[in-house]
Amino acid sequence: MHGEYKVPGGKLVVVDLDVADGVLRRVRVAGDFFLEPDEAILAIDRALEGAPADTDAAGLAARIDAALPPGTQMYGLTPEGVGVAVRRALAHATDWTDYDWQLIHEPPQSPALHMALDEVLTAEVAAGRRPPTLRVWEWGAPAVVIGSFQSLRNEVDPEAAERHGIEVVRRISGGGAMFIEPGNTITYSLSVPDALVQGLSFADSYAYLDDWVLGALGDMGVKAWYQPLNDIATEAGKIAGAAQKRVVTGDGAVLHHVTMAYDIDADKMTEVLRIGREKLSDKGTKSAKKRVDPLRRQTGLPRETVIERMIASFRSRYGLTEGAVTEEELARAKELAGTKFATPEWTARVP
């Protein structure tokens, strides 16, 4: 069995192993990480040899920690990362490069249609009718997008939203509210087969699916990192938030979408969103305006250029073919937008 895992912000870990009588055998750990002293790599292999095959990643990491020689130094590698690579091998997880990725980047669409496209395209990936897809959104109108389980009245000031012409929609994934203005926001979705995240915990899958964009930001001079559970942050503040939805039909799929602040009208945002003190307290800041630090200031680049460089970075890593929403997918999404995402019943399902 073969498993690979790129440690977030670190290096690639590769594990080859067999299973016999319910335990790990012939374990070999490799990768492009740095490790001192040399014998530490043999200690890692020995620590995993004979481990029960149902040991979770944390349990495997504990075995490694206990076996490392005193003074061991790891660079781009963690015991937890090795544990995840083992679990991915056991789960027969796939890798990014196992797929022919498709890009969808189409003209602006309504907020409700974007919500529906996410659901439809991810279901198509689960059914095997669509390849794994990176979809970059263009917004046709300003919006507030609330999480699947958020209370509408707790999150949004309806009078302020109406005054500013802002549509409120609810997505199928959890997480918090996102304030959207077309020229100030960069949003993308990944619709991926469930096999890509096999062996990863729910939390680990966020870091795994965000890793490519951290590299893209780094190429633009922005030192960013994944901040559990679902933020992308820099020293200056949060720049993006992610959310996920798992599809269990067919072979299964994961929707992972991210909204990034290219620029922001902070005064308008705080008028429209009811951002409470409790939410701000865990961010270490007293002001909602200070929670988000836009990419425009950090990169000095036009929004279109930021998007182009993000796409180019993904393509250079994993390959990417130009694609489009099919007529059948669009028809289904339009129907779903009308019958679900644009209806008061869905938007206010948690009043």
Share of the chain above pLDDT 90, in %: 91
Per-residue confidence (pLDDT) for residue 344, from 0 to 100: 97
Summarize the confidence of residues 280-293 as an average pLDDT.
Answer: 55
- 209-258 tens-digit pLDDT: 999 999 999 999 999 999 998 999 999 889 999 999 999 999 999 999 99
Q: How far apart are CA 143 and CA 230, in angstroms?
A: 21
- 25-68 tens-digit pLDDT: 999 999 999 999 999 999 999 999 999 999 999 999 999 999 99
- 75-133 tens-digit pLDDT: 999 999 999 999 999 999 999 999 999 999 999 999 999 999 999 999 999 999 999 99
Q: What is the CA radius of gyration of the chain?
A: 22
Q: Is the pTM of this model over 0.75?
A: yes
- 120-154 tens-digit pLDDT: 999 999 999 999 999 999 999 999 999 999 999 99
Question: Which is nearest to 171 in space by CA: 182, 187, 185, 160?
Answer: 187
